[in-house]
């Protein structure tokens, strides 16, 4: 007889695996060294939000993956809560900061979704400059390279099989190889 308390939750493992892949992708040095994203708390948060928004949008497109998408967002929120506490935000201020982060996530996700639906990259570059780069475009062409990467990542996620995603497998394009001349 197996004890249910000692059995690992497969869904939680899948969510942790997906979240780990998203965080690893957002932390790739190429984004900070070559795309001009600031290697700061805000820069890292905004790049994580870009990847979370893309992954969440993909999961929410498939009825069978919506629960997984919500679980992924919940995991993101728990991680942000832990990070706030780790950097010394007091218990009384954490809920306010979490609300601010949630609003930031949803606002940015909506902006990226609308920009990706538009023709060309003008709206996407503008959204990335506003959110990831704090309103100041990096030089030379970092925002355009990031926009090209975001479009390719969106396409790559759409091509991925729902069963693979449900099993915790997510593939991202390599920004160092694919967007060197964007």
Write down the pLDDT at residue 1: 47
Query: Is 114 domain-assigned?
Result: yes
Query: Distance (Å, rounded) from C-alpha 19 to C-alpha 170?
Result: 10
Query: Is 99 domain-assigned?
Result: yes
DSSP code, position 64: G
Closest CA to 145 of 5, 1, 8, 28: 28
Q: What is the pTM of this model?
A: 0.89
Domain total for the chain? 1
Query: Is 180 domain-assigned?
Result: no
Query: Is 92 domain-assigned?
Result: yes
pLDDT tens for the 182 residues of the chain, in order: 455 554 456 688 999 999 999 999 999 999 999 999 999 999 999 999 999 999 999 999 999 999 999 999 999 999 988 888 888 888 888 888 889 888 999 999 999 999 999 999 999 999 999 999 999 988 788 999 999 999 999 999 999 999 999 999 999 999 988 555 55
Dmax over CA atoms of the chain, in Å, equals 62
Residue 101 burial (CB count, 10 A):
18
Query: Distance (Å, rounded) from C-alpha 76 to C-alpha 108?
Result: 15
Query: Distance (Å, rounded) from C-alpha 36 to C-alpha 47?
Result: 11
Query: Is 42 domain-assigned?
Result: yes
Q: 28 — alpha (psi -120 to 50), left (phi > 0) or beta?
A: beta
Query: Is 1 domain-assigned?
Result: no
Query: Is 19 domain-assigned?
Result: yes
Query: Is 182 domain-assigned?
Result: no
Write down the pLDDT at residue 98: 87
Write down the pLDDT at residue 21: 97
């Amino acid at each position: 007889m197996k004890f249910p308390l000692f059995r690992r939750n497969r869904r939680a493992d899948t969510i942790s695996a997906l979240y780990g892949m998203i965080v690893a992708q957002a932390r790739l040095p190429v984004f900070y060294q070559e795309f001009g994203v600031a290697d700061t708390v805000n820069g890292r948060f905004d790049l994580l939000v870009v990847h979370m928004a893309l992954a969440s949008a993909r999961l929410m497109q498939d009825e069978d993956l919506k629960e997984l998408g919500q679980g992924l967002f919940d995991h993101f929120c728990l991680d942000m809560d832990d990070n706030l506490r780790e950097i010394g935000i007091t218990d009384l201020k954490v809920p306010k900061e979490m609300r601010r982060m949630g609003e930031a996530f949803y606002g940015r996700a909506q902006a990226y979704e609308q920009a990706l639906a538009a023709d060309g990259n003008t709206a996407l570059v503008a959204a990335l400059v506003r959110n990831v780069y704090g309103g100041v475009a990096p030089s030379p062409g970092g925002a355009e390279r990031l926009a090209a990467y975001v479009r390719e990542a969106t396409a790559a996620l759409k091509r991925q099989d729902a069963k693979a995603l449900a099993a915790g497998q997510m593939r991202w394009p390599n920004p160092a190889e694919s967007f060197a001349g964007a």
